[in-house]
């Protein structure tokens, strides 16, 4: 049993594997797959769940990946920190860091220029590679770009005070980007010892003077008694965003994700899409997961204490069997520059839930204020008659 405290924010990444190879000896994933009939590139079709060739229409089924015991294979957290991971658990991809938002975006070997999907900043690719932990699972896109664009347009149309210009600009049909966003998941067995106090509410009558008269009122009191105990909980797939390219409040609002639909990672699912490299390193990701677990443990302790009120004087939690995996979740993304400002909208590629940076129109707000003032004046005049 190991008591692992959360590391400080921004902790260093774990050391590379002892048997790490040079760049020339590593595998580089390009996520391009030629059609077996015409040689053009396949893309993953979310609706059909197959690879599809836009040139000749040929389709190919994605073969099932390797499963172990009916679930995705987890990696041992302590091993990753101390001795590193094996070559089979690592990969290298060709990425470019956006000069504006620092997003780590993967590109194929034939792409030399593009626009950052997170902030719409132009960028030119180089030949650099990024060595990182290979994804264990991928949640494939469930619907195509047109459906995502319709969901975003409906969401924008429902926003009060959004500028008409932005709404019209977004609805003109500019393509959205399908991005696989990196996440960590953590599992852990926890056992917690606690000391605290259980409060029982009771009522007493106290004399008071009201308007010169002597009366009584009921007053709530709390009777405290010391308690101690143990709770345990197994945490499964505590989800932590491993990207820093999007506002966390927006990506958190895309939850929940149905992680039971995760497929074993196969690069074929990424055909026609982009994938972002993780920017939150493993120790930092575990630190956030640890905080999430501790909040749940505190809730469990309060439930175990019982009574009407609870006080927690001491908690001591042991975390053991800590495992993790790197997974990719699907997000449709639109980044629009409007009057010098970038607006970003994200759509959950599984559920269709939309979130974004809410724009406001000063003219619409002013018009609403004037309209309210006019209505208030009319009501006042009619009421005075």
Q: Where residue 104 falls among pLDDT bands split at 50, 70, 90?
A: low
Round to whole Å and give the CA distance between 192 and 316.
5
Cα–Cα distance measured from residue 145 to residue 270, given in angstroms and rounded to the nearest whole number: 14
Q: Indicate if the pLDDT at residue 173 is higher than 70.
A: no
Query: What's the mean pLDDT in 7-31?
Result: 38
What is the C-alpha to C-alpha distance for residues 65 and 73, in angstroms, rounded to an integer? 12
Q: Which of 95-99, 192-196, 242-246, 366-370 has the least mean pLDDT?
A: 366-370
Residue 41, pLDDT > 70, answer yes
Give the integer Cα–Cα distance in Å for 192 and 174: 52
DSSP string, 251-309: HHTT----GGG-EE--GGGGTTSEEBPP-S-HHHHHHHHHHHHHHHHHHHHHHHH-SSE
By mean pLDDT, which of 31-35, 61-65, 107-111, 295-299 is the weakest? 107-111
Give the pLDDT confidence score for residue 96 in this predicted structure.
65
What distance, in Å, lies between the first and last C-alpha atoms of the chain?
A: 80
Length of the chain: 385
- Asked if 309 contacts 201 with a C-beta cutoff of 8 angstroms, the reply is yes
Q: Residue 344 — very low, low, confident or very high, per pLDDT cuts 50/70/90?
A: confident
Summary mean pLDDT of the chain: 79
Whole-Å CA distances, 61 to 52, 146, 262, 269: 9, 23, 17, 11
pTM over 0.85: no
Cβ atoms of residues 332 and 178 within 8 Å: yes
Q: How confident is the model at residue 6 (pLDDT cuts 50, 70, 90)?
A: low
Decide if pLDDT at 12 tops 70.
Answer: no
Lowest mean pLDDT among 175-179, 212-216, 343-347, 369-373: 369-373
User: Band of the pLDDT at 365, cuts 50, 70, 90?
Assistant: very low
Strands 274-275 and 177-210: parallel
Winning range, highest mean pLDDT, from 15-19, 151-155, 246-250, 330-334: 330-334
Nearest CA to 136 among 183, 65, 68, 72?
72
User: Could you give the CA distance from residue 291 to residue 79 in angstroms, rounded to a whole number?
Assistant: 21
Residue 125 near residue 321, CB atoms below 8 Å: no
Pairing assessment for the beta strands 50-53 and 42-45 based on DSSP bridges: antiparallel
| Least confident interval from 43-47, 128-132, 227-231, 318-322 | 128-132
Q: Would you tell me how many other CB atoms lie within 10 Å of the CB of residue 343?
A: 21
CA distance 144 to 47: 7
Q: What is the pLDDT of residue 54?
A: 87
Residue 118 and residue 98 in contact, taking contact as beta carbons nearer than 8 Å: yes
pLDDT digits (tens, 9 = 90+) for 255-311: 999 999 999 998 899 998 888 888 899 999 999 999 999 999 999 999 999 999 999
- Whether the per-residue pLDDT at 18 is higher than 70: the answer is no
Report pLDDT digits (tens) over 72-98.
889 999 999 998 888 888 887 766 666
| Mean pLDDT confidence for 182-208 | 95
């Amino acid at each position: 049993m190991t008591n692992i405290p959360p590391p400080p924010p921004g902790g260093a990444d774990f050391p590379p594997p002892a048997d790490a190879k040079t760049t020339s000896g590593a595998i580089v994933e390009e996520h391009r797959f030629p059609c077996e009939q015409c040689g053009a590139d396949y893309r993953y079709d979310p609706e059909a769940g197959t690879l599809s060739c836009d040139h000749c229409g040929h389709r190919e089924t994605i073969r099932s990946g390797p499963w172990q015991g009916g679930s995705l294979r987890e990696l041992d957290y302590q091993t990753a920190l101390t001795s590193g991971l094996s070559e089979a658990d690592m990969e290298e991809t060709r990425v470019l860091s956006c000069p504006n938002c620092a997003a780590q975006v993967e590109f194929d070997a034939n792409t030399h220029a593009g626009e950052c999907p997170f902030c719409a900043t132009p960028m030119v690719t180089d030949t650099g590679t990024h060595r990182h932990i290979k994804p264990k699972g991928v949640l494939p896109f469930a619907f195509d770009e047109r459906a995502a664009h319709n969901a975003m347009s409906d969401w924008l149309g429902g926003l009060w005070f959004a500028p008409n210009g932005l709404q019209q600009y977004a609805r003109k049909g500019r393509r959205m980007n399908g991005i696989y966003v990196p996440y960590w998941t953590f599992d852990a067995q926890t056992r917690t010892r606690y000391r605290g106090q259980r409060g029982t509410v009771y009522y007493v009558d106290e004399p008071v003077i009201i308007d010169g008269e002597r009366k009584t009122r009921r007053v709530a009191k709390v009777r405290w008694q010391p308690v101690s105990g143990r709770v345990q909980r197994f945490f499964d797939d505590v989800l932590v965003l491993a990207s820093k390219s999007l506002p966390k409040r927006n990506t958190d609002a895309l939850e929940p994700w149905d992680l039971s639909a995760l497929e074993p990672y196969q690069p074929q699912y990424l055909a026609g899409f982009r994938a972002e490299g993780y920017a939150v390193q493993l120790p930092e990701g575990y630190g956030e997961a640890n905080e999430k677990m501790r909040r749940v443990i505190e809730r469990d302790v309060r439930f175990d204490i019982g009574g009407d009120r609870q006080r927690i004087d001491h908690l001591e939690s042991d975390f053991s069997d800590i495992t993790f995996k790197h997974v990719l979740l699907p997000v449709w993304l639109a980044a629009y520059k409007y009057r010098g400002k970038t607006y970003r909208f994200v759509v959950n590629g599984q559920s269709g839930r939309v979130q974004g940076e809410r724009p406001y129109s000063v003219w619409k707000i002013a018009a609403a204020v004037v309209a309210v003032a006019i209505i208030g004046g009319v009501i006042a005049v009619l009421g005075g008659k």
